[in-house]
Amino acid sequence: MEILIFAGSTRQDSYNRKLAKAAAEIATGQGAQATLLELADYDIPLYNADLEARGTPPDVIRFKQALHSHAAWIICCPEYNGSYPALLKNALDWASSPVKGDPVWGDGVLPFRGKVVGMCSASPGGLGGLRAQSHLAPLLLNLECWLAPRSHAVSRAADAFDAQGQLMYPQDQQGVQAVLSQVLWAAQRLHA
């Protein structure tokens, strides 16, 4: 089973990028084929309908393709002011916007429909990004994703990773593993 894993951050030393990398390694250990996507590798401008009218940017199409080609995803979501970051919202807004006249991407929800998505987050605070997850969940459901009931939040993230970016505490390793297991289990059944 293939799984797409990405963080809603491009910051070099992002806790959620570390978490995404750790999740990809755990997924590989579970026998899945993990694709670690970096949003920084995509030139996705701020969404603007006037810009879109001149043509959907090529990297938006590439992002749509990456989302669509994986039945299972893990999104590692930072928390900014109690919600998910604008970077993640912007990328998802572009990916869900229909491409007029395109036989495939004219359906804006196509990259999302039926995908099984697990949420993880990491934050320096005690809640570990749970508030961001609570805001991201309705957006994913609106886009017709299947949302895994299990999620995991890494609290006090400044102390949760070792020098190599690995999760240090068993509760975090086991929490991420549980989310992955649930997402892979459901995706295998929904996409058999």
**pLDDT tens digit sequence for 171-181:** 999 999 999 99
Q: What is the mean pLDDT of residues 89-111?
A: 97
pLDDT of the residue at 2? 97
User: Using one digit for the tens of pLDDT, what is the confidence trace for 124-173?
Assistant: 999 999 999 999 999 999 999 999 999 999 999 999 999 999 999 999 99
Cα 127 to Cα 110: distance, rounded to the nearest angstrom: 33
Alpha helices in the chain (DSSP H): 15-29, 49-53, 58-68, 86-96, 130-142, 170-190
Q: What is the mean pLDDT of residues 93-116?
A: 97
Whole-model pTM: value is: 0.97
Does the structure show a pLDDT above 90 at 17?
Answer: yes
pLDDT of the residue at 192? 79
pLDDT of the residue at 30? 94
Range of 157's domain?
2-190
Cα 48 to Cα 85: distance, rounded to the nearest angstrom: 18
Number of domains in the chain: 1
User: Using one digit for the tens of pLDDT, what is the confidence trace for 48-97?
Assistant: 999 999 999 999 999 999 999 999 999 999 999 999 999 999 999 999 99
pLDDT of the residue at 69? 98
CATH number (domain holding residue 32): 3.40.50.360
pLDDT of the residue at 67? 98
Q: What is the mean pLDDT of residues 35-59?
A: 97
Burial of 135 (0-12, 13-18, 19+ CB in 10 A): middle
